[in-house]
């Protein structure tokens, strides 16, 4: 196909990218603003980054967010993987449709409802809201995303690999840990990263289920912004963007290198 | 040293009524829901035999193999291995190993790792594992590929890794599911002979599943021909070809011409068969066909002679017209339409470079064959 750089194409691309990324670019630029006014450029400065690291409230919130993210992503990955295994391996058991529906319902459930229902549950059973409840809530909603990612990998998994392992004398549990798990590991890692990302940027469910001393970064930022945007917040967001961007770039570079290496190997093998 | 041929010629435990079968399927039935994959099947396989299960897809041959390996349990009936009932024994405790059609090589392990996997499960000492892996690599000529991953190998190399992995544990029985299916024709022919050598040198019992009759004929001591979950015939390749037990087997293995008719007269082994159009065929091996039976006379194309004149003294001869011919180099296949409308295939070897009496399209021609060239089938 011929790429034609007509005026129309150029304009639509520029507008499209501007719509998507201009706000982020502005945010990054203004995080280096020397002026305290968020919308007026007063020269280059990194003072807000210094201020950010001295801001106990924001740093505490960041630490809570990371801990909640790590724990909830890990537990959700274990549970989501088990759910995916059950759904792909045991295609006929009583209540399978119900189970599958319940596993995937949080995907489409409005967050407000998930958050509110969890809040009601915690209140009803007298569970003090705090770090535990936020983490539990995050496990609940991110588990289904892990299940989706792992299930799609398991669908294309060649069962004869497991049969071969058992045929060679490995009992089922050993087969799972030595064959199945290593082969589906990339999907499990993607699932974990997805769960972690969802957890660290969740606002709605965290707001419902969090309590004193367990304020997450998005909650903190949101509450501060309501009092007026400070350049400190811009700096915090810029750091978040940088971390996510670096993660994505590393992942895609590694993927690309693996792909190239694989292609080269296969061509070499074809030649004999 | 005995050659492969002489060992094979002497090897016929199935003909010895005192020989104990090594693997026995006893009235085995396997149902998947309402579908009957294997239907009340009984079969004996002897030690050190190279046994082929031959059939079209869906005939139950793979199910038989999977039941031997332990991935499926029979719905009824039992399977004995060396006198032991296999029911309830999980795949990882059965002394059989399988080579999978997809090879099922572990993608995250090297060639060495794949071959060593089964040995590690037995807690074999490390030094012994290393020695065995080396020996296996040498056996399949892959020494320099030990550190490669499966995706860095060609199809033929992967096949050999799969083979090495499945024989590394020295199983009593090796099961091979379409072992050569993914290879190209030339490689397939070479590998057939490698497999036969391997089976002889390791002294293993091989059970191979295939849909390729040529493959089964080349490699196997005996072939079981399966259809719809039932055994149609179990016999040596030569018996299957020259003395098929039924119309199905005759039609399934190789090319065949079938003449339908009725036994008009029968005297000792010799029978006279009359076709619908009145043509007569004299047959020496009439089997159990009796006078009045509706039978098929089956004859292979290479047993039929084609000539432009009626050969003198021919017992069976029919006249027709060459309606098609295919020159294949080593032989020529004639399609002769007889005067009663039936088309007969006849192949003749091109033993000399020039034919004196070349037949071509639309020529009048005679087909002829001796009385012992074909068989009479009642089933």
Write down the pLDDT at residue B176.
92
Domain B255-377 has CATH 2.40.50.140: yes
Ordered domains of chain A (ranges, CATH): 58-228 (1.10.3720.10)
Distance CA B365, CA B346 (A): 11
What would the two tokens of residue A269 be? 């093998």
Q: Is B356 helix (H, G, I), strand (E, B) or coil?
A: coil
Distance CA A220, CA A87 (A): 38
Gyration radius of chain A's alpha carbons: 23
Write down the pLDDT at residue B6.
52
Average pLDDT value for chain A? 86
Cβ <8 Å between A160 and B102: yes
CB B227 within 8 A of CB B248: yes
Distance CA A207, CA A202 (A): 9
Sheet containing strand B205-210, strands side by side:
B96-99, B173-177, B205-210, B50-54, B222-227, B230-235
Indicate the pTM of the whole model: 0.78
Write down the pLDDT at residue B8.
60
Gyration radius of chain B's alpha carbons: 25
Distance CA B5, CA A55 (A): 88
Q: Which one has a higher pLDDT value, B5 or A233?
A: A233
ipTM comes to 0.80
Cβ <8 Å between A171 and B154: no
Q: If one looks up domain B4-95+171-247 in CATH, what number appears?
A: 3.40.50.300
Q: Residue B356: is it exposed, middle or buried by C-beta count within 10 angstroms (0-12/13-18/19+)?
A: exposed
Q: Which residue of A has its CA nearest to B106?
A: A161
Cβ <8 Å between B90 and A171: yes
A164, A173, A264: best to mutate for the B interface, most B CBs within 10 A: A164
Q: Which residue of B has its CA nearest to A183?
A: B108
Q: CA angle B4-B160-B221, nearest 5°?
A: 30
Q: Where are the alpha helices (DSSP H) in A37-180?
A: 47-54, 56-89, 96-108, 111-124, 131-155, 159-167, 172-175
CB B4 within 8 A of CB B212: no
CB A120 within 8 A of CB A137: no
Write down the pLDDT at residue A269.
66
Write down the pLDDT at residue B245.
86
Which chain A residues have any C-beta within 8 angstroms of a chain B C-beta? Answer: 158, 160-161, 163-171, 174, 178-179, 182-183, 262, 265-266, 268-270, 272
Distance CA B373, CA B354 (A): 26
pLDDT tens digits, residue range A244-256?
A: 788 788 878 877 8
pLDDT tens digits, residue range A170-220?
A: 999 999 999 999 999 988 988 898 898 888 888 899 999 988 878 888 888
Q: CA angle B64-B67-B209, nearest 5°?
A: 35
Write down the pLDDT at residue A2.
56
The secondary structure of residue B266, as a DSSP letter, is: E
Cβ <8 Å between A164 and B92: no
The gap between the terminal CA atoms of chain B, to the nearest Å, is 44
Chain B residues with CB under 8 Å of A265 CB are 149, 151-152
Chain A residues with CB under 8 Å of B91 CB are 163, 166-167
**Which of A208, A195, A255, A173 is CA-nearest to residue A69?**
A195
**Which of A73, A74, A106, A104 is CA-nearest to residue A87?**
A104
Mean pLDDT by 10 residues, chain B (379 residues): 54 82 90 88 90 88 91 91 89 92 92 93 91 90 89 88 91 90 81 86 90 88 90 89 88 87 80 78 78 85 86 83 87 87 87 77 84 84
What distance in Å separates residue B151's CA from the closest CA in chain A?
6
Distance CA B23, CA B80 (A): 6
pLDDT tens digits, residue range A121-180?
A: 999 998 888 899 999 999 999 999 999 989 988 988 888 999 999 999 999 999 999 999
Cβ <8 Å between A166 and B107: no
**Which of A142, A114, A220, A72 is CA-nearest to residue A122?**
A114
Domain boundaries, chain B: 4-95+171-247, 255-377
Distance CA A146, CA A189 (A): 9
Question: Could you tell me the pLDDT band of residue A239, with boundaries at 50, 70 and 90?
Answer: confident
- H helices, E strands: number in chain A: 12, 0
């Amino acid at each position: 196909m011929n790429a034609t750089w007509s005026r129309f194409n150029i304009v639509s691309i520029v507008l499209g990218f501007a719509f998507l990324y201009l706000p982020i670019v502005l945010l990054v630029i203004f995080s280096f603003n020397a002026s305290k006014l968020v919308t007026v450029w007063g020269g280059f400065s990194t003072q807000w980054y210094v201020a950010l690291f001295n801001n106990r409230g924001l740093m505490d919130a960041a630490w809570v967010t990371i801990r909640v993210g790590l724990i909830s992503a890990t537990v959700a990955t274990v549970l989501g993987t088990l759910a995916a295994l059950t759904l792909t391996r045991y295609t006929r058991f009583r209540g399978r449709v119900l189970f599958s529906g319940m596993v995937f319902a949080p995907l489409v459930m409005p967050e407000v409802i998930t958050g509110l229902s969890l809040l009601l549950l915690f209140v009803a059973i007298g569970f003090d809201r705090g770090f535990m409840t936020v983490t539990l809530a995050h496990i609940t909603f991110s588990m289904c995303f892990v299940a989706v990612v792992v299930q799609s990998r398991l669908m294309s998994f060649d069962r004869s690999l497991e049969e071969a392992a058992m045929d060679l004398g490995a009992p089922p549990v050993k087969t799972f840990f030595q064959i199945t798990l290593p082969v589906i590991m990339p999907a499990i890692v993607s699932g974990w990263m997805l769960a972690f990302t969802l957890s660290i940027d969740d606002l709605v469910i965290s707001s419902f289920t969090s309590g004193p001393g367990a304020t997450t970064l998005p909650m903190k930022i949101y509450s501060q912004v309501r009092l007026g945007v400070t350049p400190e917040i811009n700096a915090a967001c810029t750091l978040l963007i940088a971390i996510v961007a670096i993660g994505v770039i590393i992942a895609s570079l590694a993927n690309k290198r693996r792909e190239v290496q694989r292609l080269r190997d296969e061509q070499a093998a074809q030649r004999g | 040293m005995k050659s492969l041929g002489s060992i094979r010629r002497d090897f016929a435990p199935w003909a010895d009524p005192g020989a104990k079968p090594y693997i026995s399927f006893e009235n085995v039935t396997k149902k998947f829901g309402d579908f009957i994959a294997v239907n009340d099947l009984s079969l004996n396989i002897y030690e050190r035999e190279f046994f082929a299960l031959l059939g079209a897809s869906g005939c139950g041959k793979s199910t038989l193999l999977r039941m031997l390996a332990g991935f499926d349990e029979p719905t009824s009936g039992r399977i004995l291995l060396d006198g032991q009932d296999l029911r309830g024994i999980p795949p990882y405790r059965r002394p059989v190993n399988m080579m999978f059609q997809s090879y099922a090589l572990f993608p995250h392990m090297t060639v060495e790792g794949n071959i060593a996997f089964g040995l590690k499960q037995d807690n074999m000492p490390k030094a012994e594992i290393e020695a065995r892996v080396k020996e296996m690599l040498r056996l399949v000529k892959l020494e320099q590929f030990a550190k490669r991953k499966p995706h860095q190998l060609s199809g033929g190399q992967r096949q050999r890794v799969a083979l090495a992995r499945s024989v590394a544990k020295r199983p009593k029985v090796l099961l091979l599911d379409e072992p050569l299916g993914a290879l190209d024709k030339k490689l397939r022919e070479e590998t057939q002979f490698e497999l036969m050598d391997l089976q002889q040198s390791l002294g293993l019992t091989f059970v191979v599943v295939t849909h390729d009759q040529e493959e089964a004929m080349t490699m196997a001591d005996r072939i079981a021909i399966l259809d719809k979950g039932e055994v149609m015939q179990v016999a040596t390749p030569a018996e299957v070809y020259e003395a098929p037990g039924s119309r199905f087997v005759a039609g399934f293995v190789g090319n065949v011409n079938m003449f339908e008719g009725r036994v008009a007269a029968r005297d000792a082994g010799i029978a006279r068969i009359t076709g619908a159009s009145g043509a007569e065929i004299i047959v020496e091996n009439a089997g159990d066909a009796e006078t009045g039976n509706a039978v098929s006379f089956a004859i292979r194309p290479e047993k039929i002679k084609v000539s432009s004149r009626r050969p003198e003294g021919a017992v069976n001869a029919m006249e027709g017209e060459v309606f098609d011919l295919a020159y294949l180099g080593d032989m020529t296949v004639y399609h002769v339409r007889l005067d009663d409308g039936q088309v007969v295939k006849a192949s003749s070897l091109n033993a000399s470079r020039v034919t004196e009496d070349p037949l071509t399209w639309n020529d009048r021609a005679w087909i002829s064959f001796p009385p012992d060239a074909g068989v009479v089938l009642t089933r």
